[in-house]
């Protein structure tokens, strides 16, 4: 018995027996206990850049209507009929089983950098200039020359646009705002990817541009889908027809967003479940990847409701010969829904939501949803975007997302600490890139995002003990101190401005029972001293094993938090330390969070 599992000590035997019986049923789904892998080095870089043969283009996720129908109906029915998952779900409800945790976290409960995700703002804060630049490396389409239209916009989305090639031979997708809501869609397309890039996701380069509608030419080979979506040659009149339907500024110029084409060969979208069979590097089922599960929290923060497969893209590098996985198309974020404002129901229920339908039927139509109360649109450039009716636990995209449905509290905590890493200044800097002409609209969007961030922090940091950034520091007395940060206090999400920490130190035995080294102690600061009594107990309990058997030279410290001077205590966090005889020091090797 080890780690937080010691909490089971003293429970009635029948409860433990029932839990392990359910584990036998659900073992195929990953086991019943989350436990960090303490055997090897901490993995910070995933080994998923091995050369592979060029994959075929994925087409399943491109069928938007089918994908939505599949996720709303057939996928949900399939989950109900999946007995293994149903047993686990029931087990988690009654406390007899743990949910299946993400399969790609390291011993510190973090996501290693990979072709899916790069640890950025939470681990190493980006400057205000870096936040404003986002993933952009260049300056956008060359504004000095003629832009050549090379194709109509292929997407089935309702946002008007086309593809252009500039004087530098770079290719961009040009998208516009709807006539009644100028700036709404283009601002969303610029702001959202900058938040996601800072969080760690791969996104295209997005630029806000203003251009003269007369400075266009049409490539003779350009095609556009006309009646019945049949391809035909594209003409200058087609371009004029598109530009006539979008807002013009008083000086005649047009505002648009330019999304630069990604480098490499597009191989279709990645799906939010399963793996890609023609990619040997793709070894973790997508619904079990933390960066996709935790993406739900980022999506809720940004009201990114359109998280279907068609808004993702795999790109193959023909030189390095591996796939990189991108999020694309952010025109249904913040207050925008492509060419229309997002209705208040978006983000609160699925397009076809059996739960709310059932409640309405049971209540015989008297059930009033909180988001059905009429809202005002104060700024057409923003659309319907608010924090008043935002509930982090209830938020959902337009269609069910398999990865979001598998999200556990540990995944949610991971996403929440990234969201709350954005300070007020960070949010204001990124929102400013949206180019709102009315400063009141800009302030409104920034204020809504701050409020949504704070709701996320208060909700999830109350469910998981938000102690983080653990490190060992030397002291003047030549012993070490374990220091950490309480993210709830840092962000102002705790009920008070002070906290008490209760800790216990155990000697960890991988096989057998752990032994107590230091009984419960309380400290008033996020600093635990590995002092003389601890070192004496450590030396007495491990006289020789700590020098000759590394697997036996571990301790762990369980920490709980109280905001009312010990009347109530939070769930625990266990921090594992390994002794290194070479320098007579401990180092942090694992984190285990109780949920």
Confidence of residue 55 (pLDDT cuts 50, 70, 90): very high
- CATH architecture of the domain with range 467-593: Sandwich (2.60)
- Residue whose tokens read 């910070």: 44
Q: How far apart are CA 447 and CA 403, in angstroms?
A: 29
Question: To 5 degrees, how large is the angle CA 558–CA 559–CA 561?
Answer: 155
**Helix or strand or coil: residue 97?**
coil
Region 188-200: mean pLDDT is 98
pLDDT digit string, tens, across residues 63-117: 656 666 666 666 666 666 666 666 556 666 666 567 789 899 999 999 999 999 9
Residue 299 φ then ψ, to 5°: -65, -40
Which is more confidently placed, 37 or 211?
Answer: 211
Residue 33 has pLDDT above 60, yes or no: no
Higher-scoring residue by pLDDT: 102, 229: 102
DSSP 225: E
Confidence (pLDDT) at 469 = 97
In this structure, are residues 10 and 526 in contact, taking their beta carbons and an 8 Å threshold?
no
Q: How confident is the model at residue 515 (pLDDT cuts 50, 70, 90)?
A: confident
- Does residue 14 have a pLDDT over 70? no
Label residue 24 by pLDDT band (50, 70, 90): very low
Q: Where are the domains of the chain?
A: 34-330+403-464, 467-593
> For residue 590, which of 571, 570, 573 has the smallest C-alpha distance?
573
Measured N-to-C along each axis, helices 184-199 and 424-432 cross at an angle, to the nearest 10 degrees, of 140
Query: Nearest CA to 346 among 315, 303, 314, 307?
Result: 303
Q: In angstroms, rounded to a whole number, what is the distance separating the alpha carbons of residues 388 and 461?
A: 20
Q: Can you give the pLDDT at residue 155? A: 56
Lowest average pLDDT, out of 47-61, 154-168, 305-319, 415-429, goes to 154-168
In sequence order, the 6+-apart residues with CB closer than 8 A to the CB of 463 are 409, 412, 413, 595
What is the predicted pLDDT for the residue at 75?
A: 64
pTM: 0.87
d(CA 578, CA 595): 24
**What single string gives the DSSP state of each residue in 101-169?**
PPSS--TTS-PPB-SSB---TTTSPPPHHHHHHTT--S--S-TTSPEEEEEE---SSSS-EEEEE-TT-
pLDDT exceeding 90 applies to what percent of the chain?
Answer: 59
Order the strands of the 480-486 sheet from edge to edge: 467-474, 480-486, 527-529
309-361 residue pLDDT tens: 889 999 999 999 999 999 999 999 999 998 888 888 787 777 666 667 666 66
Does the pLDDT value for residue 543 go beyond 70?
A: no
Query: Rounded mean pLDDT of the chain?
Result: 85
* Structural tokens at position 347: 């983000």
CA-to-CA distance for 21 and 10, rounded, in angstroms? 19
Residue 561, pLDDT above cutoff 50: yes
**pLDDT single digits (tens) 443-481:** 999 999 999 999 999 999 999 999 999 999 998 888 899
pLDDT per residue as tens digits for the range 410-432: 999 999 999 999 999 999 999 99
- Model confidence at 12, pLDDT cuts 50, 70, 90, reads very low
151, 155, 121: which is closest to 135 by C-alpha? 121
Q: How many CA atoms lie within 13 A of 96 on its CB side?
A: 21
Average pLDDT over residues 228-255: 89
Span 541-554, average pLDDT: 56
Query: Per-residue pLDDT averaged across 526-553, rounded?
Result: 71
Among residues of the chain, what percentage have pLDDT more than 70? 81
Buried b (16+ CB within 10 A) or exposed e, 546-557: beeeeebbbbbb
């Amino acid at each position: 018995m080890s780690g937080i599992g010691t909490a089971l000590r003293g429970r009635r035997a029948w409860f433990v027996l029932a839990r392990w019986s359910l584990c036998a049923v659900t073992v195929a789904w990953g086991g019943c206990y989350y436990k960090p892998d303490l055997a090897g080095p901490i993995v910070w870089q995933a080994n998923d850049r091995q050369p592979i043969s060029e994959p075929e283009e994925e087409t399943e996720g491109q069928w938007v209507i089918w994908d939505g129908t599949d996720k709303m109906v057939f996928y949900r029915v399939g989950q109900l009929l999946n007995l293994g998952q149903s047993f686990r779900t029931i087990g988690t409800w009654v406390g007899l089983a743990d949910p299946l945790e993400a399969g790609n976290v390291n011993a510190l409960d973090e996501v290693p950098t990979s072709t899916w995700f790069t640890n950025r703002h939470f681990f190493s804060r980006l400057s205000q200039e870096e936040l404003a630049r986002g993933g952009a490396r260049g300056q956008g389409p060359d504004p000095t020359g003629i832009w050549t239209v090379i194709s109509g916009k292929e997407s089935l989305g309702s946002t008007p646009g086309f593809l252009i090639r500039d004087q530098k031979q770079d290719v961009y997708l040009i998208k516009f705002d709807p006539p009644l809501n100028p700036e709404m869609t283009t601002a969303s397309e610029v702001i959202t990817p900058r938040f996601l890039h800072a969080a760690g996701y791969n996104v295209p380069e997005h630029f806000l541009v203003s251009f003269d509608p007369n400075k266009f030419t049409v490539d003779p080979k350009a095609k556009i889908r006309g009646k019945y979506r049949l391809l035909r040659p594209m003409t200058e009149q087609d371009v004029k027809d598109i530009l006539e339907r979008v807002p013009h500024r008083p000086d005649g110029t047009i505002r648009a967003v330019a999304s630069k084409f990604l480098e490499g060969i597009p191989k279709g979208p990645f799906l939010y479940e399963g793996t890609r069979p023609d990619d040997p590097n793709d070894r973790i089922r997508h619904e079990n990847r933390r960066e996709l599960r935790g993406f739900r929290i980022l999506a809720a923060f940004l009201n990114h409701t359109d998280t279907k497969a068609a808004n993702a893209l795999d790109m193959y590098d023909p030189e390095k010969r591996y796939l990189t996985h991108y999020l694309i198309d952010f025109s249904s974020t913040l207050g925008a829904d492509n060419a229309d404002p997002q209705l208040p129901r978006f983000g609160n229920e699925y397009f076809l939501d059996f739960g709310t339908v059932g409640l309405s039927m049971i209540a015989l139509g008297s059930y009033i949803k909180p988001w059905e109360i009429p809202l005002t649109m104060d700024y057409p450039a923003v659309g319907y975007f608010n924090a008043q009716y935002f509930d982090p636990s209830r938020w959902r995209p337009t269609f069910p997302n398999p990865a979001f449905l598998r999200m556990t509290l540990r995944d949610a905590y991971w996403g929440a600490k990234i969201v709350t890493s954005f300070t007020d200044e960070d949010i204001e800097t990124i929102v400013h890139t949206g180019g709102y002409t009315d400063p009141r609209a800009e302030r409104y969007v920034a204020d809504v995002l701050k409020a949504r961030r704070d709701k996320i922090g208060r909700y999830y940091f109350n469910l998981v003990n938000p102690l983080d950034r653990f490190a060992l520091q030397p002291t003047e007395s030549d012993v070490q101190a374990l220091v950490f940060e309480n993210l709830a206090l840092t962000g102002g999400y705790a009920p008070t401005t002070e906290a008490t920490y209760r800790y216990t130190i155990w000697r960890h035995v991988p096989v057998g029972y752990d032994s107590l080294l230091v009984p419960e102690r309380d400290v008033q600061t996020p600093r635990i001293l590995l002092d003389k009594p601890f070192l004496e107990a450590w030396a007495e309990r491990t006289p020789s094993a700590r020098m000759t058997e590394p697997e036996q030279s571990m301790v762990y410290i369980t920490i709980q938090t109280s905001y009312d001077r010990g009347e109530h205590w939070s769930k625990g966090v266990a921090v594992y330390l390994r002794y290194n005889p070479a320098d007579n020091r401990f180092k942090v090797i694992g984190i285990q969070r109780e949920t």
